[in-house]
């Protein structure tokens, strides 16, 4: 591991937007902004012929670009043999642009890749296996520093093709004051006693509904449904077959019944400008589900909130919930493979994540060596829940949830489940259609 001292940097944390099921930065980085960051990075070292030049591309909004640049600058300042230039790309069409550039030989040396795309890139051989490099002395981070729940589709039986830049375990947000004012039991106390169950949750949601609020906003992405499945001890994959077991069917019925009776509200039917975060901030709902990406905004706005894991059927604690991840990958055709991997290992290791995650931020470290960054913030009061969910959770593409292994799978299945969420179609009938659609997408990708 590296012995050089990396300069301490004050991180500028940013609010994030929600893309699909996970909180992710999706704003477009303008061309002028990309040129500004490139010029800034080049100014660090100049153009010495002895320095290996490595390029790194990611999509991001203006605030995120500043944070990414901080980690790039930290790497450039930590050693004198590699110089990294960061280039921001527009968020719109980023995935397809990245896939096309990798296939055409015009991509950067290091690329940010979303969980829904990495499996395709592994199959077509355009990104490199980093497993051996991580075990070498040249790497800033080792494989065992990452929690198992963050690998998802980036890790196969043959190797490691991407490193999680950070992560966002999914938890419930709620307002302790709102529940106290309604005379409801404290979810934290229920959790500690092993009584944070579906029945107790139903009681709270019913009281919220009676008070003119929604109990919970249920997002439409499949992963939010799967969290209920695992909270019931169910499964959605049987080997390589997309199949809901009996407990998974019970979970789908549980969600659909509560959408029908108004205790839950489907997020896909909210009016324009009334996202789940806005509904929570205005006190119109008791519970929403998100990663840490809402925490900074809520904290700065003085919103009363805390984290609590999903309630379970039997009161068991920390059943698997989603961990949203994105990955740094190395272009298989890079002329500087080892140098590119060295930068990726820094950026995704403790030093790089520390340069990007400070104070009350919008993400969670994916390495378990710097958890103090969150614990020291003490925001919210029970911030430790999100770290426990990271340790027990799953990223898409894992054995629990293989959706990310098949391009287009998540969107195709989601559209089927929406029949139950929006029109009230029978949950059992919808489930049969979803399994059939899943089988169709799997067959197309073989």
DSSP string, 23-41: E---PPPPHHHHHHHHHHH
Low-confidence stretches of the chain (pLDDT beneath 50) = 1-21, 23-48
pLDDT of residue 439: 98
- In the numeric block, the tokens 């099921």 are attached to 21
Q: Does domain 171-321+406-444 have CATH number 3.40.50.2300?
A: no
Q: Where are the domains of the chain?
A: 18-168+324-392, 171-321+406-444
Sign of CA dihedral 393, 397, 401, 407: positive
Do 18-168+324-392 and 171-321+406-444 come out as alike in CATH topology? Answer: yes
Q: What is the pLDDT of residue 5?
A: 35
Please report how many Cα atoms fall inside a 13 Å half-sphere around the Cα of residue 146, on the Cβ side: 30
Nearest to residue 290, comparing CAs of 24, 14, 13, 35?
24
- What's the CA gap between 101 and 305, in Å, rounded? 43
Q: 423 forms bridges with which residues in the sheet?
A: none
Domain 18-168+324-392 CATH assignment equals 3.90.1150.10: no
Distance between CA atoms of residues 45 and 54, nearest Å: 13
Q: What is the reported pLDDT for 220?
A: 86
Its pTM surpasses 0.85:
yes
E strand or H helix that includes residue 78:
helix 62-78
Q: How far apart are CA 60 and CA 94, in angstroms?
A: 10
Report helix, strand or coil for 147: coil
Q: How many CB atoms lie within 10 A of CB 262?
A: 12
User: Hey, what are 446's tokens?
Assistant: 């073989």
């Amino acid at each position: 591991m590296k012995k050089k001292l990396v300069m301490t940097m004050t991180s500028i944390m940013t609010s994030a937007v929600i893309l699909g099921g996970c909180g992710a930065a999706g704003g477009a980085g303008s061309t002028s902004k990309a040129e500004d960051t490139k010029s800034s990075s080049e100014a660090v070292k100049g153009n010495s012929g002895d320095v290996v030049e490595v390029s790194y591309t990611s999509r991001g909004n203006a605030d995120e670009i500043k944070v990414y640049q901080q980690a790039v600058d930290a790497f450039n300042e930590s050693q004198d043999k590699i110089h990294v230039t960061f280039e921001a790309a527009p968020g719109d069409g980023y995935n397809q642009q990245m896939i096309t550039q990798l296939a055409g030989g015009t991509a950067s040396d290091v690329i940010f890749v979303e969980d829904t795309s990495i499996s395709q890139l592994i199959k077509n051989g355009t990104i490199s296996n980093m497993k051996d490099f991580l075990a070498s002395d040249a790497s800033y981070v080792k494989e065992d520093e990452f929690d198992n729940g963050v690998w998802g589709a980036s890790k196969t039986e043959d190797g490691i093709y991407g490193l999680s830049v950070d992560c966002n375990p999914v938890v419930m947000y709620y307002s302790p004051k709102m529940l106290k004012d309604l005379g409801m039991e404290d979810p934290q106390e229920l959790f500690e006693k092993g009584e944070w169950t579906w029945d107790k949750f139903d009681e709270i949601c019913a009281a919220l509904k009676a008070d003119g609020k929604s109990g919970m906003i249920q997002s439409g992405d499949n992963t939010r449904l799967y969290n209920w499945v695992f909270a019931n001890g169910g499964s959605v994959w049987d080997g390589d077959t997309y199949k809901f077991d009996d407990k998974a069917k019970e979970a789908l019925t549980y969600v659909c019944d509560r959408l029908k009776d108004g205790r839950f509200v489907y997020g896909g039917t909210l009016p324009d400008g009334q996202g789940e975060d806005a509904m929570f901030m205005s006190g119109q709902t008791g519970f929403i589900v998100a990663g840490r990406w809402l925490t900074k905004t809520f904290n700065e706005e003085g919103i009363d909130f805390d984290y609590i894991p999903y309630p379970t059927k039997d009161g068991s604690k920390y059943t698997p919930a989603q961990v949203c991840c994105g990955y740094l990958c190395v272009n298989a055709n890079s002329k500087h493979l080892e140098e590119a991997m060295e930068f990726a290992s820094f950026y995704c290791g403790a030093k790089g994540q520390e340069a990007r995650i400070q104070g009350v931020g919008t993400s969670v470290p994916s390495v378990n060596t710097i958890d103090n960054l969150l614990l020291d913030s003490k925001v919210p009061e029970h911030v430790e829940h999100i770290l426990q969910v990271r340790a027990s959770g799953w990223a898409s593409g894992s054995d629990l949830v293989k959706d990310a292994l098949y391009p287009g799978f998540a969107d195709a299945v989601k559209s089927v489940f929406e029949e139950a969420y929006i029109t009230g179609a029978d949950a059992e009938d919808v489930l049969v259609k979803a399994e059939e659609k899943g089988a169709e997408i799997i067959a197309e990708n073989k």
